Amino acid sequence: MGAMPFSELFKARKSTVPPSAEAAADGVVDRVAVALVDHEKLALVEQLEASGASLFWSTDAQGRIAYLSPSIPARFGLAAEELVGDPLQAHFVPADGEADGRSLGLKLATRKSFASLTVGSAMESVDLVLRLSGRPHYDADGEFLGFRGTGFDITEEFRGEEEAARLAKFDSLTGLANRHRMEQRIDSTLAAFRAAKRQAAVLMLDLDRFKQVNDTLGHAAGDQLLQQVAERLHAVVAGRGEIGRLGGDEFQLLIPDMDDRGELGELAKKIIAMISQPYSVDEGRCTIGCSVGIAIAPYDGVEREELTRAADLALYASKNGGRGQFRFYAADLEHEAKLRKRMEADLAQALESGHFSLEYQPQVALADNRVVGLEAQYCWQDEERGRVGPETFLPVAEGSRLIVPIGEWALRKACEDALGWPASLRVAVNISPVQFFANGFAAMVAQVLEQTGLDPARLELELREAILQGDACAVDTTLSALFKLGVRLTLDDFGTGFTSLGYLRRAPFTAVTIGAGFFESSVRHEHGDMGMVGAIVALAGALGMETHATGVHALGLLEELKSLGLAGAQGFVFSEALAAPQVLEEIACGEWRLAPTDSGNQRASRRTVFRKVGVIHEDHYYEVTLRNLSRSGAMIQGLCDVPVGTLFVLDFGQGQLAVCTVTRTMNDTQGVEFEEVLVDDGAGGLCTRSRVSPYELAAAGAPLQALPPGKSSIGEAPRSYPQFKLASEAPAQPLRTD
Write the pLDDT tens digit of every residue in 335-384: 666 777 788 888 888 888 888 889 999 999 999 999 999 999 998 887 77
**Helix/strand/coil (H, E, C) string of 115-165?**
EEEEEEECCCCCCCEEEEEEEEEECCCCCEEEEEEEEEECHHHHHHHHHHH
Shared domain check, 412 and 376: yes
pLDDT band at 735, cuts 50/70/90?
A: very low
Whether 672 maps to a domain, the answer reads yes
The Cα–Cα gap between 364 and 548 comes to 9
| Distance, CA of 133 to chain centre | 49
Q: Which residue range is the domain that position 20 belongs to? A: 6-43
Nearest in space to 413 (alpha carbons), one of 457, 360, 366, 340: 360
pLDDT at 288: 87
Same domain, 437 and 582: yes
**What distance in Å separates the CA atoms of residue 598 and residue 557, rounded to the nearest whole number?**
10
The pLDDT, as a whole number, for residue 37 is 54
Instruction: Tell me if 337 is assigned to some domain.
Output: no
The answer to whether position 12 is within a domain reads: yes
Q: Report the chain's mean pLDDT, rounded to a whole number.
A: 82
401-405 average pLDDT score: 89
**pLDDT tens-digit map of 517-536:** 676 543 344 545 677 788 88
C-beta separation of 695 from 298 below 8 A? yes
CA distance 327 to 204: 10
On whether residue 342 sits in a domain, the answer given is no
CATH number at residue 692: 2.40.10
pLDDT band at residue 177 using 50, 70 and 90 as cut-offs: very high
204 touches 271 (CB < 8 A): no
Taking phi over 0 as left and psi of -120 to 50 as alpha, with beta for the rest, 72 belongs to alpha
Percentage of residues of the chain with pLDDT beyond 70:
83
Confidence of residue 605 (pLDDT cuts 50, 70, 90): very low
Give the model's pLDDT for residue 3: 46
Cα 76 to the center of its chain, rounded Å? 45
Average pLDDT of span 141-166: 85
Q: What is the CATH number of the domain that holds 78?
A: 3.30.450.20
Cα separation values, 464 from 358, 374, 495, 502, 719, Å:
20, 18, 10, 17, 54
Distance, CA of 190 to CA of 201 (rounded, Å)? 10
DSSP structure class, residue 327: E
Statement to judge: residues 359 and 277 lie in one domain: no
Closest to 513 measured CA to CA, from 481, 530, 489: 489
Residues for the chain: how many in total? 738
Residue 163 placed within a domain? no
Q: Which of 305-309, 356-360, 555-559, 682-686 comes out lowest in average pLDDT?
A: 682-686
| 143 shares its domain with 196 | no
695 alpha carbon, distance to own chain's centre = 25
Amino acid at 542: A
State the DSSP code for 617.
E
Q: Which residues pair with 463 in a beta bridge?
A: 431, 491
Q: Which of 358, 335, 347 is nearest to 583 (CA)?
A: 358
Mean pLDDT lowest among 48-62, 358-372, 430-444, 480-494: 48-62
pLDDT, tens digit (0-9, with 9 covering 90-100), for 562-593: 888 899 999 888 998 999 999 999 998 888 99
Q: Are residues 469 and 567 in the same domain?
A: yes
Residue 24's pLDDT band (boundaries 50, 70, 90)? low
CA distance 661 to 649: 8
My answer on whether 261 and 390 are in the same domain is no
Report the CATH number that the domain containing residue 314 is assigned in CATH: 3.30.70.270
- Which ranges constitute the DSSP H helices of 519-670? 530-542, 555-563, 580-588, 599-607
3-state DSSP assignment of residue 580: helix
**In the 3-class helix/strand/coil scheme, how is 200-237 assigned residue by residue?**
EEEEEEEEECHHHHHHHHCHHHHHHHHHHHHHHHHHHH
Three state DSSP letters for 694-709: HHHHHHCCCCCCCCCC
Kindly report each contact of residues 436-439 with a partner whose C-beta sits within 8 Å and lies 24 or more positions away, as own/partner.
436/463, 436/467, 436/470, 436/478, 437/209, 437/467, 437/470, 437/474, 437/478, 438/401, 438/404
Please give the average per-residue pLDDT across 320-324, as a whole number: 73
Q: Within a domain: residue 345?
A: no
The CATH number of the domain holding residue 590 is: 3.20.20.450
pLDDT at 31: 56
> Can you say how many angstroms the Cα of residue 276 is from the centroid of all Cα atoms in its chain?
12
8-state DSSP, 644: T
Q: How far is CA 736 from CA 20, 527, 668, in A?
A: 135, 23, 11
Q: Are residues 643 and 683 in the same domain?
A: yes
* pLDDT for position 630: 83
Q: Is residue 431 part of a domain?
A: yes
Rounded Cα gap, residues 672 and 636, in angstroms:
8
pTM: 0.61
Residue 712 has pLDDT above 80, yes or no: no
Domain endpoint, select from 301, 331, 361: 331
| Domain identity same for 32 and 64 | no
Is residue 35 a contact partner of residue 54, using CB atoms and an 8 Å limit? no
Q: Are residues 523 and 394 in the same domain?
A: yes
Residue 347 is assigned to a structural domain of this protein: no
Q: Are residues 323 and 420 in the same domain?
A: no
User: Across residues 477-490, what is the average pLDDT?
Assistant: 93
Tally of domains in the chain: 5
Weakest-pLDDT range from 41-45, 317-321, 417-421, 654-658: 41-45
Note whether 108 and 192 are same-domain residues.
no
Distance CA 328, CA 293 (A): 6
431 and 469 both lie in a single domain? yes
